Each structure stands twice: as structure tokens, then as C-alpha cells.
Structure 1
Amino acid sequence: MESDSSAQRPRRRTHGKAFKAQILQACDQPGASVAGIAIAHGLNPNMVQRWRREARRGELTLPDTPVFIPVVAGPTPAIDAHHSASAPPLAIEVQLQRGALQAWVSWPAQAAHECGAWLRELFR
């Protein structure tokens, strides 16, 4: 009796990028349970955790997903006194959105290093 090995093993499911984006967006909601969302969609929670790690590292690009752009803040160049009197002060503007939470921050450019430290702590 011959046995076909492909008939004995179930086929692996493949999930499209839009589906993965939907699952990851649901996981990012405040109070969301990754395991609960995975099970509700018939997925293994470990697989969803892997998708989350891959997305954070940039290995999994999803539609309508903002791309993380690393910013390196260094010392700001000195601004001469007669130039700063006529020009408005420079500012770093940051707009953040995670689920329903939105924040907009304006930080003085002279304190760019402190802004970088604040952002690192925020995303820790």
C-alpha cells in the first residue's frame, strides 16, 4: 500500500499582509490580549508574537504601517545672535499615534539631546 506524504500532513496556511496588519493593529489596542486575539482568529499565539517581533525589527512590512525612522540627535550648532533675533526659534515637532491615543509635542531645537532621551524612554 502506497501512502502519499502530502495527503497525511495538513497544508500550512499562509496569511496575507492585510490580515497580519489587522491582527497586529488589534494587538496594539490598549488592554488587548495577544493570546486572546490569536485564539479568536484561529491562530497560535506564538505565531502572532513572532509577527509582532518581525514588525518591530522592520522584517515584516505591512500595508498602511508607518515606517520607523531612527533619529540620532547630536549637539546643535551655535546660532549667532543677530540671526536668531529675526528668525523664529527652531523646534522639533513630534506627532505620535497608537490606536486611539494621539499626542503632539513641540520641543525646542536647542534641547535636541533631551528630546532624544525622552523619546527613548517613551518607547522603552
Structure 2
Amino acid sequence: MDPDASTQRPARRKHSKALKAQILHACDQPGASVAGIAIAHGLNPNMVQRWRREVKRGELTLADTPAFIPVVATPAPAMLTPPSAPAAPLAIEVQLQRGALQARVSWPVQAAGECAAWLRELFR
């Protein structure tokens, strides 16, 4: 018996970013089982959990992963409002849907910073 044969490890597999993105997208669906998805793809569930943590920390970037895009809202100058139209209070409208859950939030523009902080916490 070859002594080196018992100590050899199988070669490490490298997974493409496209496959990782596909698996992680499937894990993000409502009611999805990370372990079930991992096993269905012939992967250890711990590996998929590690990919999820790496994406969350920004250590793993995938081509299809949506990135946070900061938006700066500034009120429109008053001269652009037609004089005949009544001045409506400016508000930030946010509509969210995840599965059957739907939410609509109206936030005053004057508190745009608090709205951004709330959204960051919501998507954390």
C-alpha cells in the first residue's frame, strides 16, 4: 500500500461567481432552506453559509449582487412649481414587498437622513 495514498486529499473545487450568485439568490427566496439548496447542488451547507457571510461583509462580490446606491434628495426650487398649483409637502415614498408581506412608507423629505438610516437597518 502506498503511504502517500492515505494522506492525499481530493482536489479543491473552485466554484464560479455565477454559480455562487445562483445559489445565494435561491437561498434568499422566502421559505428557502439553505441546507436543502446546498445539498441539492452537492455542496456542504457550511460552505454556502460562509458565502452568505462573506457577501454580507463585502468580502465576496458577485456580478449579479445588487449594490447599495446612495441617493441624495434635494428639494426642488420653488420657482419650478407653477404658481397655480398648490404646494404639496414633499415626501419620500418607499414601497416594499417580500412574499405576501407589503409595506408602504411615506417619510418627510426634511428627515431624509433618518429615512436612510432606517432603510440601512431594515436591510441589514
The two structures have a TM-score, normalised by structure 1, of 0.67
Where does residue 12 of structure 1 map in the other structure?
A: 12
Where does residue 38 of structure 2 map in the other structure?
A: 38
Q: What are the ranges of 5 or more consecutive residues in structure 2 without an aligned counterpart?
A: 82-86
More displaced 10-residue stretch of structure 1: 29-38 or 84-93: 84-93
Shift of residue 116 of structure 1?
Answer: 2.7
Where does residue 49 of structure 1 map in the other structure?
A: 49
Counterpart residue identity of residue 19, structure 1: L
SS class of match (2:67): coil
Q: 1:9–1:86: structure 2 CA closer, same or farther, 3 Å change rule?
A: closer
SS class of match (1:107): strand
SS class of match (2:15): coil
Equivalent residue runs for 1:1-124 within 5 Å:
3-4=3-4, 8-69=8-69, 84=78, 86-87=80-81, 91-92=91-92, 107-124=107-124
Q: CA RMSD in A?
A: 3.8
Q: 1:103–1:66: structure 2 CA closer, same or farther, 3 Å change rule?
A: farther
The answer to whether the 8 Å contact 1:28/1:99 transfers is: no
Counterpart residue identity of residue 8, structure 1: Q
SS class of match (2:32): coil
Q: 1:123–1:107: structure 2 CA closer, same or farther, 3 Å change rule?
A: same
Q: 1:26–1:67: structure 2 CA closer, same or farther, 3 Å change rule?
A: same
Where does residue 84 of structure 2 map in the other structure?
A: none
Count residues in correspondence.
117
The two structures have a TM-score, normalised by structure 2, of 0.67
Shift of residue 67 of structure 1?
Answer: 1.3
Per-residue displacement from partner, 1:10-58 (whole Å, max 9, x unpaired)? 1111100000000000000001111111111111111101100111111
Q: 1:69–1:59: structure 2 CA closer, same or farther, 3 Å change rule?
A: farther
Greater RCO, 1 or 2 (C-alpha within 8 Å, sep 6+)? 1
Q: 1:50–1:67: structure 2 CA closer, same or farther, 3 Å change rule?
A: same
Counterpart residue identity of residue 116, structure 1: A
